[in-house]
Amino acid sequence: MRSDIDMEGPAYAGRRSSRSPVFEGADEETVAVREIAVDVDDDEDDDDDDDGDLRLLGNIDNELEREYEELRKQEEEVVNKLKRKRTDDQGKGDSVRHQRALWDRALEMRISMQKLVTGYSQLLEMEGKLELCTSDSQCEKAYHPLTKSAVAAVDCLLELKNALPEQNTAITEASAANVDVQSMMRSL
């Protein structure tokens, strides 16, 4: 490929010298060698830094994993809170539905009882009853069961009025709150 190079000639003959001129620059060379050694040490430090960088990356990965785990836990807590809220809301809705049904039944009873009370108030006063019953014996026989029935209906109404708050604590709480509000209004 290449042709042979002629190595003969004055440029290739070499020079004669002694050792002293060769080692005169030894101090400079020693300094240069030391600098090279320092550079090599720096490179090793760089390698150590690379190890440190790897550890730093490992720490960052650990931190990211911890953050991810914390975020996952927070998300899970939020989901659980939403589920609890939904369950609570469903319970509240059921309570409201039951309360409305109870209110409707109580209103129907009140309407039915109102008819009884209206009929009772239309009965004759005691004086009129005495006059009517003394004049007709059949009237007294018919009036007596009617009176018993009316008294029984009123007693039943009073028992219902007393039993309702015992069965439903919300009524007791509402009436207590109403009494508190009324007493506050009176004090003003």
Check residues 113 and 95 and name the one with the higher pLDDT. Answer: 95
Using pLDDT thresholds of 50, 70 and 90, give the confidence band for residue 131. confident
How far apart, in whole angstroms, are the C-alpha atoms of residue 127 and residue 41? 127
Structural domain boundaries of the chain? 24-97, 123-188
Distance CA 163, CA 158 (A): 9
pTM of the predicted model, to two decimals?
Answer: 0.34
Query: How far is 158 from 66, CA to CA, in rounded Å?
Result: 67
Q: In whole angstroms, give the CA distance from residue 74 to residue 15.
A: 83
Write the pLDDT tens digit of every residue in 24-65. Answer: 655 565 656 666 655 655 555 555 555 656 676 677 788 888
Q: Do 106 and 164 contact (CB within 8 A), yes or no?
A: yes
Using the structure block, give the residue that is written with the tokens 């589920």: 83
Q: How confident is the model at residue 148 (pLDDT cuts 50, 70, 90)?
A: confident
